[in-house]
Every structure is written in structure tokens, then in C-alpha cells.
Amino acid sequence: MELNKCSRCGAFYTTSSNVCPNCVPKDTCDQLNLKNFLVENEMPASIEALSADTGISMKNLNRFLDNDDFNVYL
């Protein structure tokens, strides 16, 4: 059994998702907001600006933007 450390809250968990079960709904919601934002807006010049515009933390943004799902917007 492998223990993963949640990227959002630091809790340990054993499921195969990117974050712990408690944070999955929040993570899904943030990713949806980010997708909607990038569909309707130009990609801001910096992650800082993107964070300010979306209300998503830079740590989470960096993690989402590493994901292949978001490559189409970059």
C-alpha cells in the first residue's frame, strides 16, 4: 500500500488521485474555474496574475498547469 501526500492539505492518503479524498471536490472545483477562466480570457502574463484573477493559489495553479489537460490553453 502506497501513501501519497495531499498537495492541498498535506494529509496522507492511499487513493490514486492527485489529492486526498477530502480535497477532491475543492480540487475539481478549482480546475473547473481555471478552465472556464482560460476559455473566456487570455492567459495572463504571469502565474501571479492568474492566481489573483481566479482566486486559486499559485501552488495549485502550478500543479494544474503541469497537467496535460491544460496544455491546450498555454
Report the interface residues with Zn ion, using CB under 5 A.
Answer: 6, 8-9, 11, 19-20, 23
Q: Following CA atoms 61, 37, 40, 44 in sequence, which dihedral angle do they give, to the nearest 10 degrees?
A: -40
Q: Shortest Cβ distance from residue 27 to Zn ion (Å)?
A: 8
Is the CB of 13 or the CB of 34 nearer to Zn ion? 13
Is the CB of 19 or the CB of 34 nearer to Zn ion? 19
Residues 6 or more apart whose Cβ sits within 8 Å of residue 27: 8, 18, 19, 60
Is the CB of 48 or the CB of 59 nearer to Zn ion? 59
Q: Shortest Cβ distance from residue 33 to Zn ion (Å)?
A: 18
